[in-house]
Amino acid sequence: MRLWTLHPKYLDPQGLVALWREALLARAVLRGETRGYTHHPQLERFKAHASPRLAINAYLATVHAEATSRGYTFDRTKIGPVRPVAPISATRGQINYEWEHLLQKLAARSPALFAQWRELGRPLCHPLFHSGPGPVASWERASGGA
């Protein structure tokens, strides 16, 4: 499961579809509708939010908006209520880590998007997140933690 901290506008079609599916799975986990993935580290930041279900709905709403802007027809009824929620903190280290990870994926899967984004020095994060200083998140498996 990869719930990108990055704005979904940077994702290639495969990545955007995968994000939609994975965020819907995360929503099911947070609603207690599935037994799998209940301890997935990427869910920690949503579980720690004052309103985890509303936070994942807000996350999904942005993914849906991006998909709609590209002409995709993701089912909006799968999201649930979307209300303003407090942002989730994300470190610049985490955003940079994810950016390098995404660029590797784009280089292999979508060379045109890789060429478009590779020189971008400071990618935007998903609107649910507020970036600040700090290392890669402790829950990021490949990083070895903070």
Residuewise pLDDT in 10s, the chain (146 residues): 799 999 999 999 999 999 999 999 999 999 999 887 888 888 999 999 999 999 999 999 999 999 999 999 999 999 989 999 999 999 999 999 999 999 999 999 999 999 999 999 899 999 999 999 999 999 887 644 44
12-15 long-range contacts, CB within 8 A, separation 24+: 12/105, 12/106, 12/109, 12/110, 12/113, 13/70, 13/110, 14/109, 14/110, 15/102, 15/105, 15/109
Residue 1: inside a domain, yes or no?
A: no
Residue 100: inside a domain, yes or no?
A: yes
Residue 2: inside a domain, yes or no?
A: no
Q: Number of structural domains, the chain?
A: 1
Residue 83: inside a domain, yes or no?
A: yes
Residue 30: inside a domain, yes or no?
A: yes
Dist CA 112 CA 4 (whole Å): 20
pLDDT at 35: 82
Residue 45: inside a domain, yes or no?
A: yes
Q: Show the domain range for 120.
A: 8-143
